[in-house]
Structure 1
Amino acid sequence: MNVTVIGTGNMGRGIAHTLARGGHTVTLQDRQLEKAEALAQEVRAAFPGATVQAGTLGEPLQGDVVILATWYTASQDLARQFQTEFAGKVVVDISNPLNARFDGLATAPGTSAAEDLARLLPDSRVVKAFNTTFAGTLVQGQVAGQPLDVLVAGDDAGAKRQVIDLVTSGGLRGIDAGGLTRARQLEGLGLLGITLQGPLGTGFVSAWKLLS
């Protein structure tokens, strides 16, 4: 697939590596072109032959899938600014809407960051994914020899299937977690994973894994 990733921070880096590992065409967009170019160069070096290009925010979107590798409030700002450009696209929300103290969620009861985003983007197909995985583990693709589990939620079955295909082609295990309301539980799980890193001393290189 042809995928645009907006944001070139830690999570943008991890997702870009995952997409390139799966053989997809990746366009990285950032407000600062030099950041996008630096990450594109890194990913191309890691995956020779990968098609990874850089651009600035606001350039035409490439492909049908857009991944917002940005903070909760930044994703909302992007949705308001580029509602028309995002129309008809699969838009992936990866955010964990943490409060200012990083000890709870900033969203109102009975909703989620992904649902808030979907209300701002009525003509897009919003999918929740990657919020329970950490950036460094996405670059590596595994923890302790186990492929990462990526929990995916959305109301549009086709959009969800596209995102799961992106995940699995990158060597990870995509798991259908249900409709978009499941993002409420996924964001709670993301918060729990973040808060456990200090007490457990796992340094953001741990992962949630379903075993049977």
Structure 2
Amino acid sequence: MNISFIGAGNVASNLGNLFTNASHSVRFGTHQPKDDQLSVGDAISFGEIICFAIPFSAMKEVLTENREHLKGKIVVDITNAINISDWSPVFLGEDSGGEQTARLVPESKVVKAFNTIFADAMKLDKQFNGQKLTAFIASDDQEAALTVKKLADDAGFNGLIVGGIKNARHLEAMAHLNIAVALSGGGTDAGFIYVQNKN
């Protein structure tokens, strides 16, 4: 698949490498492209799936500017509402960044995913005690959720669909918890593994 990242930081770069290793075509779009990066508009045109790995504070402007070009595409929101200066949470009340994204681009297929995984844990063949990290996925579009689950599995995670986009609230709270543990000394080479007894 053709996958574009809006943003080219550690999350975009590391997750993009995993997708590339799984034989997907990956490009990166930024406002000031350099090297082989694309403009945001060109990256959106290239991708069937558009992954947003930019600061949460920039999402409204970027989504609004590109709403028309994002129609019909799978939009993966990887963001978390945090204060960049100290990683402290920005509380959104009875709302979530994922739901805000869905409202801003109502004609796109919005999926919340990968936001609970640190960039440091997005490495090739990365496992924890022999187990893969869980990539939680929330979307109101079942087909889009299944597509992103396959991407997550391709990348070496265990993709787990957890219901509609409203559950992005819980995924974003999990990300805040992950950050809190990291800041208290746990570090960022860590993550969540959801275990199911299917017997």
User: Which amino acid in 2 is paired with 1:93?
Assistant: D
1:185 aligned to 2:164?
no
Return structure 1 stretches of 4+ with deviation > 4 angstroms: none
Q: Is the 8 A contact 2:181 2:187 kept in 1?
A: no
Q: Is the 8 A contact 2:5 2:28 kept in 1?
A: yes
Deviation at 1:132, TM superposition (A): 0.3
Match of 2:148 among 163, 175, 178: 163
The equivalent of 1:97 in structure 2 is: 81
TM (norm. structure 1) is 0.85
- State the identity %: 30
How far apart, CA to CA, are the structure 2 residues paired with 1:150 and 1:4?
A: 19
Aligned residues: 193
Deviation at 1:198, TM superposition (A): 2.4
1:195 aligned to 2:180?
yes
How far apart, CA to CA, are the structure 2 residues paired with 1:146 and 1:94?
A: 22
1:149 aligned to 2:137?
no
The equivalent of 2:16 in structure 1 is: 16
Q: Is the 8 A contact 1:154 1:178 kept in 2?
A: yes
Residue aligned with 1:91, SS: strand
1:55 aligned to 2:66?
no
How far apart, CA to CA, are the structure 2 residues paired with 1:104 and 1:202?
A: 17
Residue aligned with 1:147, SS: coil
Deviation at 1:110, TM superposition (A): 1.3
Match of 2:158 among 163, 173, 185: 173
Match runs of 1:58-97 below 5 Å? 58-59=41-42, 61-97=45-81
The equivalent of 1:130 in structure 2 is: 114
Residue aligned with 1:165, SS: helix
How far apart, CA to CA, are the structure 2 residues paired with 1:127 and 1:184?
A: 13
The equivalent of 1:4 in structure 2 is: 4
| Superimposed CA distance per residue, residues 6-56 of structure 1 (whole angstroms, 9 cap, x where no aligned partner) | 10001111210121121101111112322x63xxxxxxxxxxxxxxxx312
How far apart, CA to CA, are the structure 1 residues paired with 2:155 and 2:83?
A: 31
Q: CA RMSD in A?
A: 1.7
| Superimposed CA distance per residue, residues 138-189 of structure 1 (whole angstroms, 9 cap, x where no aligned partner) | 1244243322210000000001111111111122110011110100000000
